[in-house]
Amino acid sequence: MNRTTPRTWQWDDVRFFLAVARTGSLSAAARALRVGHVTVGRRIAALEKRLGVTLLNRTPDGFATTSAGEAILRQCMTMENAALDLERIAAGRDSVVTGSVRVTTTEALAYQLVAPAIAALRRAHPDLRIDLTVGVRSLDISRRDADLAVRFARPSASDLVCRRLGEVGFSLYASQRYVARSGIPKRGQGLAGYDLITFTGAPAATSPFFMGESLDGARIALRCDNPLIQLKAAVSELGIAELACVLGDSSPDLVRIWSHETPARRTAWLIVHQDMRRSARIRAVSAAIVEAFRRQRKILEQGIRGERRFV
């Protein structure tokens, strides 16, 4: 009697199923996996054929897991966690400063701190490559969406190692023409009647927002999660933006509101997974960022101009 040995599951198959189950679409899963959506569809079909069941059904709102898909979802996530643990442990034991390191941070910190640190580091280690992702959205280090993060919010996960870098100053900025037209708001009396440039949702790490002033009666002129666009909007006389001082001070077209006041301070953290902290390339990038922050501590805390008053 002929017996056919069944093909065993492969983690590479399972990750395609998990990506579609999480995102609900082939295109979103393809972006997450950095492949074409046709490839995602083909891999899902192959996995279903191998298992002999339908894992996903197409609905008007996207793909939904079937009862069979739900039944194996937890086991697939367990496989994923095991694979990620294996990758982290292996990557965390390397001893050569080569390869890629994925860093995520905000635009302001990337501009003033991380990019210059990387430039200096690569002069010593030219085989090192940095993939830098900027934005307010936090990437999941436990899932290896990033290897290192420089953030204002300190995560609470027990498997992450957080190192305090120092403080970064934030102040309110507007164009001189906007201030001449609208006047300077009085400290402690709120921002009612003024136009504000803000985020689509106030990040928890920026609290208190707008230096603690009441926003009742203020007009939201623009919501945008990119501080560089916020800066450009302020230069274009759209309203008042709260910016990192190193970013706001870089524009000669902007002035600080309440320039005599000490900037609001927010703590910056360097975050790495505990399994990755012994990796030579991770240690090298971490050390470069720590040293760059140490050298620029005063500028990061106070800004470039120092005190600047209106005339």
> Domain containing 80 — which CATH number?
1.10.10.10
The model's pTM is 0.66
Strands 160-175 and 264-273: antiparallel
pLDDT band for position 108 (50/70/90)? confident
pLDDT band for position 310 (50/70/90)? very low
Looking at the domain assignment, is residue 254 inside a domain? Answer: yes
Domain hosting 289: range is 96-311
Q: Among 91, 115, 137, give the residue marking a domain's end.
A: 91
Strands 62-65 and 56-59: antiparallel
Show the CA angle centred on residue 75, arms to residues 38 and 16, nearest 5°: 10
Compute the average pLDDT of residues 151-157.
Answer: 82
- Tokens 């969406």 sit on residue: 145
Answer whether the bond into residue 116 is a cis peptide, omega within 30°.
no
Domains of the chain: total: 2
Compute the average pLDDT of residues 171-185.
Answer: 95
The pLDDT tens digits of the residues spanning 50-87 come to 888 888 888 888 888 888 888 777 778 877 777 666 66
pLDDT given for residue 86 in this prediction: 63
pLDDT given for residue 308 in this prediction: 45
User: Is the pLDDT confidence value at 98 over 70?
Assistant: yes
Q: In percent, how much of the chain has pLDDT > 70? A: 84
Cβ atoms of residues 172 and 270 within 8 Å: no
SS3 273: strand
Q: Cβ contacts of residue 86 below 8 Å, gap of 6+?
A: none
Angle between helices 37-51 and 11-23 (to 10 degrees): 110
The span from the CA of 1 to the CA of 23, in Å, is 44
User: Is the pLDDT confidence value at 173 over 90?
Assistant: yes
Q: Among 91, 121, 149, give the residue marking a domain's end.
A: 91
Name the most confidently modeled range: 31-40, 73-82, 200-209, 219-228: 219-228
Angle between helices 11-23 and 67-91 (to 10 degrees): 120
